[in-house]
Structure formats: C-alpha cells, structure tokens
Structure 1
C-alpha cells in the first residue's frame, strides 16, 4: 500500500458539469480544491433566472452539493472567494453568503472583475478541509480541527475570520487597506494602501505566532494595474522580513491582477496563504515542527525578483502566475491567445518538471483572461496539457494584465513527498 497521498478528482450530478475540461473538486492530502461555481442550475445546465441574489444562491447551492457529495459539510469550508461583475451587488451577495454559514465564517475574498464566464453576475469558489487525507485505502482519523483566529490589531468583520488554520496551512482573508483603529481606508495612494494591507497581514500572523516570511503565496488585486510599481515598492519593504530570509532573498509565489472594483473603493487588496509548521491538533507535537519552506526557480521559465516561481510547503507547491513570456528573451510571445496560453502552460510545465513533478500533479488552475470570449480557444490549448481534465479551475475576465498579456495562469500542485522533515 502506498504511504503517499494521491490526487483525487471527483464530480457529482447534483452540481453543474464544468463548462471546460476540469473537475468539480480535487482533493489532495488535507484540502479539497473546488472549481469556481457559476450560477448554473445542474438540471438545465443554464444560468438561473433573476439577479445577483438568485445567482449567488445558486452558486452556494452548487458548492454545498459538491461539499456534501464528498462527505463534508459547509463548516468544513476554510476559504470563500466571491467574484462579482458589479461591486454594487456586494451587500446582497454577502447576505446570501451569510445564510450558508451560521456559527462559523471562513476566510473571505471579494472583488469585482471585468467579466465572468457565461456573462454571470456572480462566481463563488471554495477551499475545503479534508481531514481524512488522500492516502489510498488508508484514511486518516479525519479529526484534525480548524483553528479560527481574529485580532483587533487588524480589521475585523462579522462576515469573515481573519485566519483559519487547518493542518499545515493558514488561509487569511484578503486584507483591505483599512486602519484597524479607525475602520477607515488609510490616506494616500496605492503605495500607502498596499503597505496597510501588508501591515494587517503581518498583525494577523503575529497574533498566531507565525513569522511574516512563512507566507508562501500572495495574490495582489489592483484597481489600476498602472499602480504596480508603487505596490512593488511597498512589498520590498516587507519581503524578506527576517535575516534568514534576506540571506537567501526569499519572496513568496505571487499573482498580480487588475480588478474592476474592490470593497470600499480601495485601490489594493492583498490575500495571503501562510505555512503552519506546527499543524493543527491532534497532530502530535513531535510531528508538528520543523517542516521547511522550499523555494525554487528555474531558468526554463521566466523569473521575477519580486517572487519565487514555486514555493513548496508540506504537501503543496504554490506556483506564481505565469505570463506568456519567452524565458529566453523575456518578451511576450508572438501570436494570439492560443499562442499565449500555450506559452503560459509551457512555463508552468517547465516549473513543475524542474521540481520533479508532472502536470498530472496539478490540483488547481487559475486562469485570468483579458477577453472572456477567448475561453473556448484557451480550452483547446489547455486540454493538451491536461488531457484528463482533472485540475479544479477558476476563470475570470480582467481589464488588464501585466505586460499587456491576453492571459495569465497560476496553479497549485500536489507535493506527495512533502518537505523536510516529512521525507
């Protein structure tokens, strides 16, 4: 019997089939990665009638159906991500969201984007704990617990928990540039707002005794992509944070994307995922310490001084967003969206193979498109890299991408071998 976790893709007829080559949920080790759910009625395969309220209800019903089909409940959800076509719908969608969570609320990210598949008004994604693990024929006890934490040193909200730890990861709610004392946006521009977002993240991590350099992935949502250099300046002041991290110039994996609007009309919002080497009970104390972060870059894919191509911790590898850049020239490849999608996926493959993995180890893919109408053309290329259609997936349309690209892709990859001392 294998002692390693395996990728476990599952689908249920009680939720809509994907509109592309992907699975509804892909479990690996202690997490289930769900594909973003559109407001599609699983019986008819079409969008439900009504506005944002009805569409949000259908998205959450679909998530609940998937969660229950794999023997879990909604309180096992660790993180919810909501994409809106119109930020003005946030209040009505938040009320729907709250109706699915009662005594506990997960971490939360909300942003408005330029477009969603099927011209939907709402799309919702969930990350779910998986206490039983995915070792074939050897389920674990399934009794690992979530640890939900809040601190008044960072903004609090009745809609979300600041940090939810499960097993070896801490998932943080996306942080807005809110001063926790006043509850208002900080004064200044994108640089000041980015610094406040990062300061809020640091306060949350310090509250749970996690160093800032234990962050393995950040996602930066910008209202104006032209603000990226100001945001980068703020990031350089926070990463790396410790002497050890500075010695190796550590930076987490990263994705940057332009959104059409953010809550409170903020210019910046930052989401973080952090390692959690001490695990969550009842993991034995002697098994909970010393797991290391393994950061890796390869010359076979484009490199960036502000991020690491892939950061592994425990049983996952987090891949930075890949643009359609030729790794030799550093230029955007010639051609249209098919050629650009092929280059993004080739870069992703090069990174995955550089750490001794294969594309079938990918459990989740996030696709950002300048033109949502390109989704079918992208799927034609995508299927060649994922012929079994296994990874869970999220696709959104954005107003702009770095380097004027038409497409950007990031991914989460299984890491069965773990990171030391989980040899």
Structure 2
C-alpha cells in the first residue's frame, strides 16, 4: 500500500467554512477537525450568550462536521479546549457533558491569550477515529480502546488513554498526586516530574513503553521556567537502552499558556505509537511497526526533540520557530516573514523525508499577538497547492526566543513504517 492511501478533505455547509482551512481532513484511520469557534454557520457571527452558550456552539459545529461524514461524537478520540479565562471551564464542562453518550474522549484544557475572533471566549478542535480508512484501504470494524488507571489522576470528563488502530492519545496530565488529588508540593521542576510520572503510569497500565511516545506538547505558564522543565524532561527521555543508543526523543511543542487548570505551572500531553493496534488487528503484531525518527540540516536542530517522527500512517513535526539557519537568530522582518520562515522549515523537513506540503493534514499555529493573524494568512496559502489542511490558531502569552509565531504540523504518511507495506 506504499504511498497509495488518499487524503480526504471535506467541508459541510452545516458548520462555519474558512478559506484558510478545511473542516475535516481524513487519512487512513484518523480524521482531523479544524478548530471551531462559537460561530453560527448561517450568519458567520459569534452567537449571542456567555461561555456556556459559546461552548455549546463550538461542539455543535464539531458535531455537524462529524455527522456530515457519517460519524458520531463517540468516534471522537481527543478534544482540545482553549478558553480565554480558566475560570470559565466549569461553564464549558456543563455544556461539554451533553455531547457524549458512551464515554468521554481524551482532553486537554488550556487558557490562551487570544482567539481569532475577539468576542470568542472558547474554541475547540478534535481528532476522530476513522474505521473505514481512506481509499484504497478496505473498511474495517476497528475497536476503540478507552482506558483509565488508578495510578494516575482521573477526570470526570475525560479518559486517560484512547487507542484506535496504531495510535493512542492521552489526556493532558497536570502535576496532581493521584493519591491526594492535589497538586504536588514544590515548584515547576517537581510539577513537571509529576506530569511525566502520571503519563508513565498511564502507559505502563496498558503495557506501552515510554519511548513509544511520538509527540509531546508542554504547556507552561512562564516561559522562563522551561529550562527547569527541560532539566526534568531529559531524565525521562530517552527511557530505554534501545532509545538511548539512538538518542531518540519525540517531536515536541512548547506552548506558553495564559493559565492552566488548578493554577498549575505546567501541563503535558502526548501522542503514542500503538504497535499492537486495536482489535480486530492481530495482537501478535505488537510493537512490530517501527518508529522512524528523522532530522535534516535544512531546518533548526534541537537536542530536546526530533524534527519528524513517523509511525504507521502518520508523521508528527516538532514546532518550528522562525530561526534563520545562518545566524541561528530570528529571521529579519515582522510576523509575515516569521510565519514564512516557520512554514519554510516545515516544508524542508517534509521534503527531507520524501513528502510534499499537500501531505499535511493538520497545522497548529501559536501567535504572540493575534493582530498578526492577517500577516500569517497572507503567506500561509502559498505553501499548499491543493486543499488546505485542518488548522488551529491560538494566541499565546509568549513564544521561545521572543518570536511572533510558532507552527507545528501533522502529515500523512502513505508509505507507512516497516513492516507495513
């Protein structure tokens, strides 16, 4: 099946459309949903009401997209919730619970500095399972495995880990002691260690090694604390002798949040390779698929992440800053030039592994000033020839190196990784 799977990009009139993204981009056994603002698709305006009503509209838009491609909300495996005020999470949760019947997907909640429409109080994006696959795969009745463990903090509105096919998404882990339900004592180092300990406990509960993580996203409240977080992070990666031999570390993004639940200093979520797949895939194939990590000198290198980590039919690209390779400083110019540089780095990485930008299924953008949204959009479409990928844009409190923009990506990987063919 090398290179033969086809990306399926779709829009529906029942949800807000954008000239700069596609609502739903399916590839293989997953489907990426663009971030949904609380916009009435008929008027194109933010709905009237408070954050609860806005959260309902975001989820209604997601539901409309999901149903337009013959899926249901219980096919959702991951939801990201971005609020302007962390205190609004209780109201968001009131609306949220009504949209899921059988189980709650994995979830990450974070307060952001701004959203693309100034009157928006909340925005959500989603990842859904896609059992039918995309052409020329044959439809299959894969089973979603949703699991919790007593060894990590539980959330009433999320599941610790949801596996489907060859990927597994974990809910964001806060620095909570699972025994007490409270934040651990200490500063950001202790909190980062607890987040990663909770992630490790979840993975061990489903017999998955820590080095099966392919992408990590670290949310911090203060960019100045990232060195302390990294000090702890490097004690968890690489975890195994094999990973240490090849110096494997996953792709990574660092996002500076305006606030985090429970007033935490750090929160971490991960995406995990799942070699054994989910039934009816053969259990004896467990860990048979190879993680393929790759770096290129054509984009900035960093000892804390791998630029691109492929597993099965997806490939995760680490967050790219607008770094000039010659000077190792920020590229000259404003937000437009910086956005162009970030996307140029992503393209260099994508092309270094024999892919093209139209293989991208999802783009995540962080802006330090939402006033730069138009500058981003000026250069963004020029990097794609066909349908634009799904996209999420948020405003953040800060970005490493004082950059105006940072961008990461997920790309389709039609050739798969060995031993798949």
Aligned to 1:112: 111
1:225-245 deviation digits (Å, cap 9, x = unpaired): 110000000101100000110
Q: How does 1:352-363 map to 2 (within 5 A)?
A: 352-363=350-361
Displacement after TM superposition at 1:158 (Å) = 1.3
Aligned to 2:13: 13
1:411 is the counterpart of 2:409:
yes
CA distance in 1, matches of 2:135, 2:208: 28
State the secondary structure of the residue aligned to 2:117: helix
Q: How does 1:1-400 map to 2 (within 5 A)?
A: 4-18=4-18, 20-119=19-118, 120-136=120-136, 138-141=137-140, 143-400=141-398
CA distance in 2, matches of 1:286, 1:264: 42
Deviates more, 1:164-173 or 1:322-331: 322-331
| Aligned 8 A contact 1:177 1:186 in 2 | yes
CA distance in 2, matches of 1:382, 1:390: 9
CA distance in 2, matches of 1:51, 1:327: 46
CA distance in 1, matches of 2:364, 2:405: 11
CA distance in 2, matches of 1:326, 1:290: 39
Displacement after TM superposition at 1:2 (Å) = 8.7
CA distance in 2, matches of 1:123, 1:285: 38
1:152-205 deviation digits (Å, cap 9, x = unpaired): 100011110000000001100000000000000001111110000000000000
Displacement after TM superposition at 1:399 (Å) = 1.2
CA distance in 2, matches of 1:91, 1:34: 24
| Aligned 8 A contact 1:383 1:389 in 2 | no
Displacement after TM superposition at 1:288 (Å) = 4.8
State the secondary structure of the residue aligned to 2:338: helix
| Aligned 8 A contact 2:3 2:415 in 1 | no
Displacement after TM superposition at 1:113 (Å) = 0.4
TM-score when scaled to structure 2?
0.98
State the secondary structure of the residue aligned to 2:239: coil
1:370-396 deviation digits (Å, cap 9, x = unpaired): 111111111110011024342000000
| Distance 1:379-1:387 versus aligned 2 partners, 3 A rule | farther
Displacement after TM superposition at 1:286 (Å) = 4.6
| Distance 1:50-1:281 versus aligned 2 partners, 3 A rule | same
| Aligned 8 A contact 2:2 2:415 in 1 | no
| Aligned 8 A contact 1:3 1:135 in 2 | no
CA distance in 1, matches of 2:94, 2:398: 30
State the secondary structure of the residue aligned to 1:9: strand
Displacement after TM superposition at 1:49 (Å) = 0.5
CA distance in 2, matches of 1:389, 1:278: 32
CA distance in 1, matches of 2:252, 2:325: 18
Displacement after TM superposition at 1:329 (Å) = 2.4
State the secondary structure of the residue aligned to 2:62: helix
| Distance 1:23-1:167 versus aligned 2 partners, 3 A rule | same
Gaps of at least 5 residues in structure 1 are none
| Distance 1:284-1:379 versus aligned 2 partners, 3 A rule | same
1:91-138 deviation digits (Å, cap 9, x = unpaired): 0101111110122100010000000011110001110000000024x5
State the secondary structure of the residue aligned to 2:36: coil
CA distance in 1, matches of 2:199, 2:316: 19
CA distance in 1, matches of 2:130, 2:381: 27
Superposed CA RMSD in Å reads: 1.2
| Aligned 8 A contact 2:12 2:65 in 1 | yes
Displacement after TM superposition at 1:327 (Å) = 2.2
| Aligned 8 A contact 2:313 2:415 in 1 | yes
Displacement after TM superposition at 1:287 (Å) = 4.5
TM-score when scaled to structure 1?
0.98
| Aligned 8 A contact 1:24 1:66 in 2 | yes
CA distance in 2, matches of 1:287, 1:250: 22
Count of matched residue positions in the alignment of Structure 1 and Structure 2: 420
| Aligned 8 A contact 1:115 1:396 in 2 | yes
- Runs of 4+ aligned residues of structure 1 deviating over 6 Å after TM superposition are none
1:293-312 deviation digits (Å, cap 9, x = unpaired): 00000000000000000000
